[in-house]
Structure 1
Amino acid sequence: MRKSEIAILGIILLSLIVSIYFYPQMPEKIASHWNIQGQVDGYMSKFLGLFLMPIILIGFALLFVAIPRIDPLKANIEKFRRYYEGFIILLFLFLLSIHFQVILWNIGIKISPNVMFPIGLGLLFFYIGVLCENAKRNWFIGIRTPWTLSSEKVWEKTHKIGGKLFKIAGVIAFVGVFFQSYALFFIFVPV
């Protein structure tokens, strides 16, 4: 088992343990969605609210572990595997932070999503830029068009530019933390 797979498994187990621990303390309906101003505008049953994210993490884990094994250009994925695995771990940590934010909010510790999302998505977008700049041609990861998939040169140029744009989007999204009322604009406008 790869170190990244152990980390993924650890994150999944942590999400399940935290969900089980806090289950008795949660109201029957828990806040699960916030509008652009950071106000609650959606609720879920406590079971779904606590166990949906661990289920999503399990599904993503199965997908991300399968991709390098089924890609016809799997040798190319091995060339940037550490960046791919870094992305997976960062994505899982971001999703875990959302899970924690939902739990904390519902036990009375109000952490605004307008603080968490700009930071988390800013880091994620920036790292996607790093991943793009290092990705080799493959069928699952990166900017896949008929042109990038049929030409190594087009793939390289596209991902060099795409990587820079994702990094810029990440920095802009991160700045949203300083303008919480407009945080989501900083996230979605550059994307």
Structure 2
Amino acid sequence: MKRDRLLWITTIICFLPLILSFILYDKLPEEIAIHFNYAGVADNYVPKAVGAFGLPILMAIINIFIHVKLNNDPKKMNSPAALKYLGKWSSPILSVILLPITLFIALGYKIPIQIVSLGFVGIIIVASGNYLPKCKQNYTIGIRLPWTLNSEVNWNKTHHMAGYLWILGGISMIILSCTQMQSILLTFIILLVIVIVPCYYSYWLYKKGL
């Protein structure tokens, strides 16, 4: 019952930006930018009806999928409650942040979307990294590789190492978003390191028999 209540609450929050969409709809241009390159320049547009009303609906659908996935994990009790809540609240948070930003940019407001998005991703990575070491074997959250799922020792060691690495990587992205050194290459390198290094480390443990 508690899970159903949270699903309803988060889904309703996903739809909240629709109120702003209705208020601003007549003032919006015929096409709205929904994607921006690393320099913050729009490079993909959709009709304003799709942007204003379709995005919250899409976020609500993603939210429902995430809840169903997390609630039906056979080993869901092994996942830290904080990580599960982070996953379940990710869609509504994105909906109430991204849609208003998208609409205001469409109206001509100068919002540094690249700074906001990079900083937001960095915060999510730091929060996830903080709880990765507490994450036990499961099929939904964590670094789910054949070697980690096959060995509890491998899983624990990989997630302890990855936790510290993700925190450092997330902090680096936050710092990067607040400086003039914003670079797609540096961001790509950070993301590559926090993904590839734990995977290689897990495989290395596997080859050692762990």
One fold, TM greater than 0.5? yes
Inter-partner Cα distance in structure 2 for 1:24 and 1:67 = 38
2:121 & 2:134 partners in 1: Cα distance?
Answer: 20
| Structure 1 vs Structure 2 CA RMSD | 2.2
Structure 1 position 180, deviation (Å): 4.7
User: CA 1:111–1:183 in 2, change beyond 3 Å: closer, same or farther?
Assistant: farther
Aligned to 1:116, the other structure's residue is in SS state: helix
Cα distance, 1:101 vs. partner? Answer: 1.3
Alignment of 1:13-92 (within 5 A): 13-77=15-79, 80-90=80-90, 92=92
Q: 1:164 to 1:66 in 2, by over 3 A?
A: same
Q: Give the number of the structure whose alpha-carbon radius of gyration is greater.
A: 2
Tell me if structure 2 keeps the 8 A contact 1:34–1:40: yes
Instruction: Find the counterpart in structure 1 of residue 96 from structure 2.
Output: 96
Contact 2:70 2:84 in 1 (8 A): no
TM-aligned CA deviation for residue 14 of structure 1: 1.3
Q: Which residue of 1 aligns with 2:159?
A: 159
Paired residue type of 1:146: P
What is the distance in 1 between the residues matched to 2:46 and 2:71?
36
Question: Aligned residue for 1:12?
Answer: 14
Q: Mind listing any 5+ residue stretches in structure 2 that lack a counterpart?
A: 192-210
Measure, in 2, the Cα distance between the counterparts of 1:16 and 1:158: 42
Aligned-pair distance for 1:107? 1.6
Distance between the aligned counterparts of 2:133 and 2:53, measured in 1? 35
Which residue of 1 is the match for residue 168 of structure 2?
168
Instruction: Report the CA distance between 1:83 and its aligned residue.
Output: 2.6
The alpha carbon displacement at 1:47 in A equals 1.3
SS across alignment from 2:53? helix
Alignment-derived partner of residue 145 in structure 2: 145
**SS state at 1:72 partner:** coil
- Could you tell me how far 1:170 is from its partner in structure 2? 0.7
* TM superposition shift of 1:86: 2.5
How far is 1:95 from its partner? 4.5
User: For 2:98 and 2:67, how far apart are their aligned partners in 1?
Assistant: 22
Q: Report the counterpart of residue 108 of structure 2 in structure 1.
A: 108
Q: Does the 8 Å CA contact 2:14/2:91 hold for their aligned counterparts?
A: no
Q: Does the residue aligned with 1:190 lie in a helix, a strand or coil?
A: helix
Q: Please, what TM-score do these two structures have when normalized by structure 2?
A: 0.79
CA deviation string 1:132-175 (max 9, x = no partner): 22222111111001111111111111111111111111111111
Contact 2:62 2:91 in 1 (8 A): no
Which residue matches 2:197? none
